[in-house]
Chain A
C-alpha cells in the first residue's frame, strides 16, 4: 500500500471526505424474481441436508467427528450465504423495480417484502425449516406479483429440484 494512500485513508478516518461516484446505478431494467426463489430453495435444501446428517455418537472416531463437522460447516455456510442472496434479491426488486403504481395494485407488497426479509434473517440465523419455508413462500408471492406487473399469468408447480416445493413460474406465451 502506497504511503500517500495510507495517509489519505488515515485522514479520511479522522475527517471523512465526501464520496465521488464514478459509476452509478444504471436503471438497466433487468430484473427477475427467480434468483430469490432459487436462493430460498437452496436454504430449504441445506436445512434438509443438515437434518439428514447423522450426528456422531459417543463412540465416534475423531475422523467421523471431523467429517461431520466439515459437512455441517459447509451446509451452514451455504445456507447463510443463500439466505443473504435471497434477501439481497428481494431488496433489489423492492428498491429498484417496484414503483408506486405497482403498490396501488398490490397493496400488500411492503408486507410481503418485510416477511421475506424477516424469514430470510431467521433462516440464516437458525436451523429452522419453517423459516426457510416462509422465505420460499414470500419469494413465490413476490414472484407472482412481479410477473403480474409484466402482464403474465403464473403457474404454481413442483420445482424440479430435490426440494420439490411448490414454486411460482411465469406462463410465457
Chain B
C-alpha cells in the first residue's frame, strides 16, 4: 500500500464506522483475509455497489493480492475503517 502505508506504520481503526454508513470508494479498511481468517489485511474500497459484497484493491495493483484474487469481501469481514495513520 505504498506510499499510503509503509511497513511499521500504525493504523487506528474505527470498528463502528460501517454501522452507520456503507463503505465508500476510496476508504482504507482493515479486513480479515478471506483466505486466512486469523490475519488482517489493509486494502482500499474500489467500488460501492448496493450489495453486501465489497470489492477491495491494493494501491499497487501490479503486485497486490486483492479482490481480483479472492473476490469481493462480505461486509461482515470488514473490521473497520482506518481512522488515523501514524508514521514514524
Q: How far is the CB of A115 from chain B (nearest CB, A)?
A: 31
B41 touches A17 (CB 8 A): no
30 A-B pairs whose Cβ atoms sit less than 8 Å apart in the complex: A1-B88, A4-B86, A5-B10, A5-B86, A5-B87, A5-B88, A8-B86, A17-B10, A18-B40, A19-B40, A20-B41, A21-B40, A21-B41, A22-B1, A22-B2, A22-B4, A22-B5, A22-B7, A22-B41, A22-B43, A23-B58, A23-B60, A23-B63, A23-B64, A24-B33, A24-B65, A25-B65, A26-B63, A26-B64, A26-B65
**Residues in A lying within 8 Å of B, measured CB to CB:** 1-2, 4-5, 8-9, 12, 17-26
Q: How far is the CB of A55 from chain B (nearest CB, A)?
A: 44
Chain B residues near A20: list those with CB within 8 A: 11, 30, 40-42
Q: Identify 7 new A-B residue pairs, CB closer than 8 A, beyond the known A21-B39, A23-B64, A26-B63.
A: A8-B12, A18-B40, A20-B11, A22-B2, A23-B58, A24-B33, A24-B41
Residue of B nearest to A17 (CB): B10
Looking at B10, B58, B64, B88, which has the most chain A CB atoms within 10 Å of its CB? B10
Complex CA gap A5/B5 in Å reads 13
Main secondary structure of the interface of B (DSSP, over half): loop
Chain B residues near A9: list those with CB within 8 A: 10
For the complex, count residues of B whose C-beta is within 8 A of A.
24
Residue of A nearest to B66 (CB): A24
Chain A residues near B58: list those with CB within 8 A: 22-23
Chain B residues near A26: list those with CB within 8 A: 63-65
B10 touches A12 (CB 8 A): yes
Is B84 at the interface (CB under 8 A from chain A)? yes
Q: Mark B1-27, 1 if CB is under 8 A from A, else 0.
A: 110110100111000000000000000
Complex CA gap A19/B8 in Å reads 9
Chain A residues near B84: list those with CB within 8 A: 4
Complex CA gap A83/B43 in Å reads 37
Q: How far is the CB of A168 from chain B (nearest CB, A)?
A: 31
Complex CA gap A25/B36 in Å reads 13
Complex CA gap A21/B32 in Å reads 10
